[in-house]
Amino acid sequence: MLLSTKGDYGVRAMIDLAKHAGEGPVQRSEIARRRQIPESYLDHLLAQLRRAGFVRSTRGPSGGHELAKPASDINLLSLLEALEGSLAPLGCLEPAVGEEATESICGQNWVWQEIYDEMRARLAAVSLAELVEHEREHERQAVISYNI
Amino acid sequence: MLLSTKGDYGVRAMIDLAKHAGEGPVQRSEIARRRQIPESYLDHLLAQLRRAGFVRSTRGPSGGHELAKPASDINLLSLLEALEGSLAPLGCLEPAVGEEATESICGQNWVWQEIYDEMRARLAAVSLAELVEHEREHERQAVISYNI
DNA sequence: CGATACCTGAGTAAAACACTCAACAACAGC
DNA sequence: GCTGTTGTTGAGTGTTTTACTCAGGTATCG
Ligand code: FES
Ligand code: FES
């Protein structure tokens, strides 16, 4: 039932990029260090994100990665689905071509369908910009409590 | 992100037991056949369910399994948690003893916490009795459309 | 007693996960 | 146009989890 690290790491990386948007490309080594992601693994995630059209990469010295579109235009749902594939909690909810029929022997899928729909709606309503905003808010509070 | 078969199978089995409640013990071979669960695997699930106090088993000829309490007193959440352990979609949501701290580098946990809470609430609100009811309803409709 | 069930724990094949490695391609600046 | 720095790709690997199976054991009924 756990989200794999791919999704978690990928979103972390995207938050990092969004936070440094407009400051030119960010290197993967920077991201890996700040967000505690194995660098060689991050490579693959960035490749996936680039293929999905979320980031733009530039090679050569002073190259790196940056968002391909504004952070407010990227929502968590599309991001996670690009990284993880379907988020359905049960195989029978997203029927592969030429399937069905398990409904009659199980009878719990309607509950999960509801939960799944709610979840997708909630994720779709959260943009990357909001996540960054939340993080900044959190940082401010941390600084304040540190100063006391 | 998928629920494992354990949860699915376990709930199927419980629905089966609930459906035949009051008719004496049901054998695991019966359940396995009706619900399409490998019989030797079902053994373990029933043991787990028994240890968690959901079913009562009787040995010997004409033995079998039956619900240990009324179907309306069993909700999906407790059932699934007994079978699967925690349903949290992220490790950091249910902190093991002596952990924390990932929040600062990730910043998406608040979204997932919300989704997780909603999910648990929804699951807790569904009783085994309701699932059986739904299944019966579904069967009636199937019979009707078959007769037309 | 013996047939019929449930009960238990150990073992295992296969898949998914979480990476790593090595070779390659592009670009910037000298 | 070389050189070094960065991204790009695909193949490969150790570990863990999943989804079971098997071989015994134990309780109960008739
Ligand atoms: S088979 Fe889909 S919920 Fe059980
Ligand atoms: S570490 Fe918990 S959501 Fe990323």
Q: Report how far apart, in Å, the C-alpha atoms of A101 and of each of A36, A53, A138, B39 are.
A: 44, 36, 47, 21
CATH topology of domain A5-146: Arc Repressor Mutant, subunit A (1.10.10)
- pLDDT(B96) > 80: no
Nearest to B15 by CA among A88, A109, A92: A109
What confidence category does residue A106 fall into, taking pLDDT thresholds of 50, 70 and 90? confident
Q: How far apart are CA A46 and CA A17, in angstroms?
A: 11
Per-residue model confidence (pLDDT) at position B143 = 77
Q: Does residue A101 register a pLDDT over 60?
A: no
Average pLDDT over residues B110-132: 96
Q: Within 10 Å of residue A98's Cβ, how many Cβ atoms? A: 5
pTM for this model (two decimals): 0.91
Q: Which residues touch strand C (CB under 7 A)?
A: A 4-6, 38-41, 43-44, 58-63; B 25, 27-29, 43-44, 46-47, 50-51, 57-65
Query: Which of the four pLDDT bands, split at 50, 70 and 90, describes residue B103?
Result: low
**pLDDT, averaged across chain B:** 91
- The average confidence (pLDDT) of chain A is 91
**Rounded distance between C-alpha atoms, residue A28 and residue A12, angstroms:** 12
Report the pLDDT value the prediction gives residue B91, as an integer from 0 to 100. Answer: 85
pLDDT at res. B144: 77
Residue nearest to atom 4 of ligand 2 (CA): B106
Question: How crowded is residue A36: how many other Cβ atoms within 10 Å of its Cβ?
Answer: 12
- Interatomic CA distance for residues B94 and B109, integer angstroms: 11
Contacts of A49 (CB under 8 A, 6+ apart): A10, A13, A14, A55, A82, A83
pLDDT at A54: 97
What region does B103 belong to: left with phi over 0, alpha with psi -120 to 50, or beta? Answer: alpha
Degrees, nearest 5: CA angle B42-B47-B52: 125
Give the model's confidence band at A94: pLDDT under 50 very low, under 70 low, under 90 confident, else very high: confident
pLDDT over 90 at B100, yes or no = no
Encoded tokens for B146: 């078959």
Touching B: A residues 86-145, CB under 8 Å: 86-91, 103-108, 110-112, 114-115, 118-119, 122-123, 126, 131-132, 134-135, 138, 142
- Residue B95 pLDDT level (bands cut at 50, 70, 90): low
* Domain boundaries of chain B, sorted by first residue: 5-146
- Model pLDDT, residue A143: 77
According to the model, what pLDDT value does residue B106 have?
85
**DSSP single-letter state for residue A2:** P
Q: pLDDT confidence of B113, banded at 50, 70, 90?
A: very high
Q: Are B9 and B84 in contact (CB under 8 A)?
A: no
